[in-house]
Amino acid sequence: MSTDLRPDAVAATPARNPALRSRRQLPRFAPTGLFGLGVLLGAGLSAATGFSLTLTVVYGVVLGTLVLYVVARRVEGGRKAFDRLVTCLVTCAFGIAMVPLVSLVWTVLENGVRRLDGEFFNSSMLGIVGEGGGAYHAIAGTLIITLLTALISVPIGLLAAIYLVEYGTGRLKRAITFLVDVMTGIPSIVAGLFAFALFALFSGPSIRLGIMGAVALSVLMIPVVVRSSEEVLKLVPNELREASYALGVPKWRTILRVVLPTSIAGLGTAVTLAIARVVGETAPLLVTVGLVNGTNLDPFDGRMSTLPVFAFYQLTQPGVPPEPAIDRAWTAALLLIILVMALNVVARLISRFFAPKTGR
C-alpha cells in the first residue's frame, strides 16, 4: 500500500484511473457556447422546415441541451454531465414559465393603453352606446367597497392575530390557527354565495347591495390579515414585552404601546397586501353587487359598479359595435393591474421606511 503513495505513483495514476480523469473541466464559457451552438442548429432545422419562432425556440433548446450534455459527458464524465443537464432543464423551465407572464403583461398593456384617457376616469356609462364612456362609477365603487372591506376586516383580523400571539392558549388557539389557514383557501365565489345567502335570507333573493360585496370580500380578507399580522407580531422580541411588564405596565397597554408600535411597519405591509389581494376579486362582487351604468356611491342602497365586474361585462356583453366596449374592458383590466402593483409597491415602501430602528 505504501508504495502507491510515492510521488511517481500518484503522478502516474490520472492516466490509468478513470475516476480521476473526470476532474477535467470545461472552460467557463464553454457551456454557454455549446448551448448557443445547439440553438443555432435548431434555428437551421426550423429554417429548413419553414421558419417559425416557436419551432426555433423548441428545437434550439432541445438541441442546445443535448449538445451540452453529450460534450460534457465526453469531457467531464457522467455525473458532471448530468449536473449540467439539470442546470439546463431548471433554467429552461424558468424561461418557459416567464414566457406567459411576460406575454400577459404585454397583452394587457398593449390593449389597455388605447382608452387610458381623461374621459375614462371622468365619465360613467350612463346613456353611453358605442364609443366614449368611462369607468368613473366603477372606480368609485371599487374604492368604496374596498374601503368598507378594510374597515370590517382590519380590526377583526388584527384583534384575532393579537389573540393568537398574546393571549391564545390550548385548544382554542390551535383550532383558530388551523381554521384560519383553511379559510384562506375558501373559493372567492363561495364567499360571494355566502354573503348572498346571508342577505337573501332577510331581504329576498333579488337583493344587491355594495355592503354585501364588502361582507363577501371580508370573508376572503380576514384570514389573510390574521395570517400575516400573526407572523409580524411573532417577530416582536419577547424581551420588549418582559421589560414593559417589569416596569409594571399592564398587558393591554404593553400590547398597545410596545408591541403594536414596534411592529407597525409589518402590520401596514400586511394590511396593504391583504387589500391588494381582494381589490381585484371579481366573482363575489358579480353575485352580490351586480352592475349599474350610473354612479351609485351609497353601498347601502342598490347595485353598484366595481372595476372587475365592469371589465367582465364590457368584455362578455360588449353590445354593438363591440370594439369600444372591449377597449374599455382592457383599460379596466390594466387599471386593476396598476392598482395591485401600486399597492404592492406601497407595501414594500411601508416596510422599508417605517421599520423600527431597533428591530431584529
Partner 1 sequence: MTTTDAPPAPPRPRRRPGDRIFAGSATGAGILILVVLAGVAAFLVSEAWPAVVAPAEDIPGGDGLTAYIAPLVFGTLLAAVIALLVATPLAVAIALYITYYAPPRLATLMGYVMDLLAAIPSIVYGFWGIAALAPALVPFYGWAEEHLGFLPFFAGPASVTGRTMLTAGLVLAIMILPIISAISREVFGQAPALHREAALALGATRWEMIRMAVLPYGRSGVIGGAMLGLGRALGETLAVALVLSGSGGITVNLIGQSNPSTIAANVALKFPESTGIEVNALIASGLALFVITFAVNMFARWIVNRRADFSGAN
The residues in 24-53 that bind partner 1, with binding defined as CB under 8 A, are none
Nearest approach, Cβ of residue 295 and partner 1 (Å): 20
303 contributes a contact to partner 1 by CB under 8 A: no
Q: Segment near partner 1 (CB under 8 A), from 117-125, 141-149, 262-270, 278-286?
A: 278-286
Stretch that binds partner 1, among 83-91, 117-125, 127-135, 258-266 (CB under 8 A): 83-91
Q: Which of 12, 109, 186, 297 binds partner 1 (CB under 8 A)?
A: 186
**Closer to partner 1 at the Cβ: 343 or 350?**
343
**69 touches partner 1 (CB under 8 A):** no
- CB-side neighbour CA atoms (13 Å) of 117: 8
Pick one of 188, 262, 263, 305: the residue that binds partner 1 (CB under 8 A). 188
Tell me whether residue 30 or residue 108 sits nearer to partner 1 (CB atom): 108
Q: Which is nearer to partner 1, 8 or 102 (CB)?
A: 102
Among 30, 40, 108, 240, interactor with partner 1 by CB under 8 A: 108
Q: What whole-number distance in Å separates Cα of residue 129 and Cα of residue 321?
A: 9
CA pair distance 105, 269, nearest whole angstrom: 24
276-314 burial by CB neighbour count: b if 16+ within 10 A, else e? bbbbbbbbbbbbbbbbbeebbeebeeebbbbbbbbbbbb
- The CA distance from 109 to 55, in Å, is 26
Residue 21 amino acid letter: R
User: What letter does residue 4 receive in the DSSP assignment?
Assistant: G
Q: Three cell numbers at 201?
A: 335570507
Please select the residue that binds partner 1; options are 25, 32, 107, 122, rule is CB under 8 A: 107
Query: Grid coordinates in use for 76?
Result: 467531464
User: 268 vs 222, 225, 348, 355, CA distance in Å?
Assistant: 15, 10, 10, 10
# binding residues, partner 1 (CB under 8 A)? 100
Given candidates 38, 60, 133, 290, which one binds partner 1 under the rule CB under 8 A? Answer: 290
Stretch that binds partner 1, among 28-36, 56-64, 140-148, 216-224 (CB under 8 A): 216-224
Residues 226-265 contacting partner 1, CB under 8 A:
226, 231, 234-235, 238, 245, 248, 250-253, 255-256
Nearest to 215 by CA among 193, 236, 235: 193
113 touches partner 1 by CB under 8 A: no
> Is residue 125 near partner 1 by the rule CB under 8 A?
no
Note whether 141 and 210 are within 8 A (CB). Answer: yes
Q: How many helices (H) and strands (E) does the chain have?
A: 17, 0
Amino acid occupying residue 193: L
Taking the least distance from each CB to partner 1, the nearer of 30 and 40 is: 30
Region near partner 1 per CB under 8 A, out of 113-121, 143-151, 185-193, 349-357: 185-193
Pick the stretch among 9-17, 24-32, 33-41, 341-349 that binds partner 1 (CB under 8 A).
Answer: 341-349
Which of 268, 308 has the CB closer to partner 1?
A: 308
Length of the chain: 360
In the block, cell 353601498 appears at 299
Residue 63 is a binding residue for partner 1 (CB under 8 A): no
Given candidates 10, 20, 90, 126, which one binds partner 1 under the rule CB under 8 A? Answer: 90
C-alpha–C-alpha distance, residues 142 and 183, integer Å: 23
The reply on whether position 193 binds partner 1 by CB under 8 A is yes
Instruction: Give the CA distances from residue 23 to residues 13, 20, 81, 230, 269, in Å, rounded to whole numbers and listed in that order.
Output: 13, 6, 12, 51, 50
Does 198 bind partner 1 (CB under 8 A)? Our answer is yes
| Contact between 79 and partner 1 per CB under 8 A | yes
